[in-house]
Amino acid sequence: MIYENRMKNERFPFKCAVMRGNMPFMNHCHQEVEVLVIRNGCLKVEYEERKYVLHQGDIWMSPPFASHSIGTGYDNCERLAILMDIKMIGTWTKDETDWLWIQDNLYNRDLCSQSWNKETIIKVRGIIDKLHKEYTEKEYAWQLAAKTLVNELMLTAVREMPKKEKVKDINQISKIKDILEYIALHYCEELSLQACADTVGFNATYLSRYFSRHMGMTYQQYVKQLRIDKAKWLLMTEKIQITEICYQSGFHDIKTFNKLFRQMCKMSPTEFRRHFTGQV
């Protein structure tokens, strides 16, 4: 399947941020590759029913549209988080879907540094440090430098990161993955249960029961939590107005956003930002 690019309105489809604290993010997926580097403390993550406890120095990557969750860690946990659209690697033929080959390869690799050899860890850490430096300092032609480094990172992944064991019950994982992909691409829209069912080829009533059974929450609850998690990410990584965060998270009015955010996070968006970033 080929998906639209949710980052297409960004000046450059690459984001990098240092995140602090132990705020969890529920099971979700997005079209970007996500990279986490633990700088301090530890953090729990889960990917395709495999659980990891990441410690200082560990690196973990999630492929596009891979369902994963970020759990709690120590209060002093600090991580460097990177989001990058895999399409930025460009193409090497007239076929503009070359990047799908890279995506498929990433699905078959063990993307946690706990299983890599020492040389691969050193190489990847060096690439990530350079990416962070380019993004932070934004010197002349930094986008070109970032794109070159992302290509180097993807090449290292498909050549040097070990292949992982096949996941059991792949058909069930594939079904729920299709649903989560649809939600990830359309969370800023109306996102009705019927529209999702029509897209993935399910009866709406069956999809509702199926989703609740496999995700432990209703479809509507998941959408609300996903939007709140998106807002939490933006509050922790972007210096933009709360109203803009409301709209970018899929909400259509600030009153509803503030009420639901306080209900789920036990504090207002402004208090959340101040607590986790020190920003006012």
Q: Do 19 and 156 belong together in one domain?
A: yes
pLDDT in tens, 119-135: 999 999 999 999 999 99
pLDDT in tens, 223-251: 999 999 999 989 988 888 999 999 999 99
The phi and psi torsions of 104 (rounded to 5 degrees) equal -60, -40
Q: What is the pLDDT of residue 3?
A: 32
Please state the domain count of the chain.
Answer: 2
The phi and psi torsions of 52 (rounded to 5 degrees) equal -125, 145
Q: What's the CATH number where 62 sits? A: 2.60.120.280
pTM of the model: 0.77
Q: To the nearest 10°, the Cα dihedral for 167, 172, 174, 176?
A: -120
Interatomic CA distance for residues 154 and 73, integer angstroms: 28
- Residue 1 above 90 pLDDT? no
Q: What's the CATH number where 239 sits? A: 1.10.10.60
Q: Do 151 and 179 belong together in one domain?
A: no
Which ranges in the chain belong to alpha helices (H)? 99-107, 118-137, 142-160, 170-186, 193-200, 204-215, 219-237, 242-248, 254-265, 269-277
The structure tokens listed for 248 are 């970018």
Contacts of 228 (CB under 8 A, 6+ apart): 249, 260, 261, 264, 265
Assigned domain for 250 exists: yes
- Residue 145 above 50 pLDDT? yes
**Is the pLDDT higher at 67 or at 58?**
58
Q: Do 89 and 153 belong together in one domain?
A: yes
Interatomic CA distance for residues 20 and 63, integer angstroms: 23
The domain in which residue 191 lies consists of 171-277
Assigned domain for 146 exists: yes
Q: To the nearest 10°, the Cα dihedral for 244, 250, 251, 254?
A: -10
Q: Do 154 and 188 belong together in one domain?
A: no
- pLDDT band of residue 149 (cuts 50, 70, 90) is very high
- pLDDT band of residue 4 (cuts 50, 70, 90) is very low
pLDDT in tens, 24-35: 788 888 888 999
